[in-house]
Amino acid sequence: MQPMDKDEYCFAYGYNGSYLYCTPNGYASNSLPSEISTLIHRDLIQRIKCVSFGGSKKSYFILYERDGCYYAAWGADVPKGLRDWLREQRKYSELQPFLGCDGSLRVVLGAAGSYMAWNNRAITGQGISPGLQQLIKSWWGDGGWVRGPPQLITLGADGSYFAVSGAEGHGPATYAWNWGSQSQMLQDAWQFLWRDPLFQLDKLAHVSFDPHNTGRYVMVEKCQDGSSGPSVRFVQSVDSGEHELFGLLNRGTGPSSNGMPYSRPIRALNKPCKAKHGGTATKDKRELPLRKGEYLTILFEMSQFWYIARNKEGRQGWVHSTWVTIVEEEPPGPEKLYLAWKAKCDAAFAKGNISAFPELPKAISFCQAVSCTSLKAGPGGLGVCQHDVALLLRGSGKYSYKFLKMERNSWHPDKFGQRCALANREELKKKSEQLFVIYGLLMEIEAKNDI
């Protein structure tokens, strides 16, 4: 499919984590309605112009372009009033599902069967807030649009909305919004925009709410002069497809064009955070490459979107706020984990008659290799792999071939079995054998490294 035009966006959030993100840089989707998937896979869609998802798999609307003509399709579960209105528009545009239609048609599906739909000649809606109803009435007069059809209407899950009027012949577009009970995060983001003395409403290219989940939203600025990419201001709480969406919005862009209105830090944070993704959000060399699951320290908040952070190796760089999660306290490192586990093992060995295996700390289970995750998930296993165990043992500060060989002796199945209660001996010996083998693998690696 061809991407959307410059500064054109459409974000559809739907049933059970489904989504379709349409941007000038391409598309991203998950669990699409089968009818839309069929249209895409048969190459019947050249470019999507409008898409919206309701509260079920069969509740959707899509307007798309092919060979210079516009076509619309909608699901069986869209509200009856909307279906009737769409059919009524046939007298203007021969509008039927999967047949040619008016390219000005727009449909926004909201929560609990609410919707807004309009084109150049008409408008309809159901279940929308009184404030939005009054706003639309002020944009409509004498049987037609005062400034042309709305450029944008997005509906939130709680009666919230953001709307932009047309801008034809009667002055510039007007903007209106109501946050309802949307999250404090959204309200903070909106206030943050206005902290930039150069910000103006007409710089916004798109605003979108998830109509089915409160507090999920996207705000995108128009391309800056001389730039081919968008200036992303905020993408917050978009749980479904957040990674894919941010990748689309940030192709070819970097910290300098992604919501960094100030050259100086807003504030010092010095808070721990955990990386949600690996790599970098953009291709900008100033970004700090992340390893998924690693812990870093956020030093400064540079904008709503960007931090300066430092990793465990002491490297500092830019980190995107949607790629990390701030935590209250960083879990104990390998040193503390090893000392606690070693003390537990020594106490169990000294007491004897062991009835429960001294399990390795869950916090060291960081390895995401495919071959290791299947091994760790197996029944009766230790829940760790050789890479996890190596991380724990390095916390001893003595990690070497000699250290591994000496420690391995404690886990020989026969020797360990002598310390176990008779009722649990065979089961515990199997686990000790697994750990004994892991020690052996680590010894082989160390032996090669010493050559």
Mean pLDDT by 10 residues, the chain (451 residues): 88 88 87 91 92 94 91 93 85 47 90 93 92 92 86 90 84 85 69 74 88 83 61 48 62 48 63 91 84 90 82 89 87 87 94 93 83 81 90 92 94 94 93 95 87 52
In a domain, 260, yes or no: no
Measured CA to CA in angstroms, residue 141 lies from 80, 145, 150, 161, 315 at distances of 26, 6, 13, 22, 61
Encode the chain in three state secondary structure: CCCCCCCCCEEEECHHHCEEEEECCEEEEECCCHHHHHHHHCCCCCEEEEEEECCCCCCEEEEEEECCEEEEEECCCCCHHHHHHHHHCHHHHCCCECEEECCCCEEEECHHHCEEEECCCCEEEECCCHHHHHHHHHHEECCEECCCCCCEEEECCCCCEEEECCCCCCCCCCEEEECCCCCHHHHHHHHHHHHCCCCCHHHEEEEEECCCCCCCEEEEECCCCCCCCCEEEEEECCCCCHHHHHHHHCCCCCHHHCCCCCCCCCEEEEEEEEECCCECCCCCCCECCECCCCEEEEEEECCCCEEEEECCCCCEEEEEHHHEEECCCCCCCHHHHHHHHHHHHHHHHHHCCECCCCCCCHHHCCCCCHHHHHHHCCCCCCCCCHHHHHHHHHCCCCCCHHHHHHHHHHHCHHHHHCCECHHHHHHHHHHHHHHHHHHHHHHHHHHHHCC
Q: Are 62 and 15 in contact (CB under 8 A)?
A: no
What's the confidence (pLDDT) of residue 372? 87
Q: Do 394 and 279 reside in the same domain of the chain?
A: no
Q: Do 374 and 281 reside in the same domain of the chain?
A: no
Give the dihedral sign, CA 180/185/186/188.
positive
What's the confidence (pLDDT) of residue 141? 81
Q: Are 209 and 160 in contact (CB under 8 A)?
A: yes
What's the confidence (pLDDT) of residue 330? 79
Q: Do 45 and 134 reside in the same domain of the chain?
A: yes
What's the confidence (pLDDT) of residue 118? 94
The total number of structural domains in the chain stands at 3
What's the confidence (pLDDT) of residue 224? 65
What's the confidence (pLDDT) of residue 260? 42
The CA distance from 219 to 171, in Å, is 24
Among 166, 197, 222, residue at a domain's last position: 222
What's the confidence (pLDDT) of residue 309? 93
Question: Strand 60-66 to strand 123-126: parallel, antiparallel, or no bridges (unpaired)?
Answer: unpaired
Q: Do 309 and 367 reside in the same domain of the chain?
A: no
Q: Do 309 and 381 reside in the same domain of the chain?
A: no
In a domain, 315, yes or no: yes
CATH number for 321: 2.30.30.40
In a domain, 73, yes or no: yes
What's the confidence (pLDDT) of residue 331? 77
Q: Do 168 and 32 reside in the same domain of the chain?
A: yes
In a domain, 142, yes or no: yes
Q: Do 118 and 212 reside in the same domain of the chain?
A: yes
What's the confidence (pLDDT) of residue 93? 44
In a domain, 239, yes or no: no
Among 326, 344, 370, residue at a domain's last position: 326
Q: Do 321 and 349 reside in the same domain of the chain?
A: no
What's the confidence (pLDDT) of residue 328? 86
State the pTM of this model. Answer: 0.60
What's the confidence (pLDDT) of residue 366? 78
In a domain, 251, yes or no: no
Q: Do 117 and 164 reside in the same domain of the chain?
A: yes
Q: Do 30 and 115 reside in the same domain of the chain?
A: yes
What's the confidence (pLDDT) of residue 304? 65
In a domain, 37, yes or no: yes
What is the span of the domain harbouring residue 44? 10-222
What's the confidence (pLDDT) of residue 259? 44
Q: Do 315 and 421 reside in the same domain of the chain?
A: no
Among 308, 326, 344, residue at a domain's last position: 326
In a domain, 233, yes or no: no
Q: Do 210 and 344 reside in the same domain of the chain?
A: no
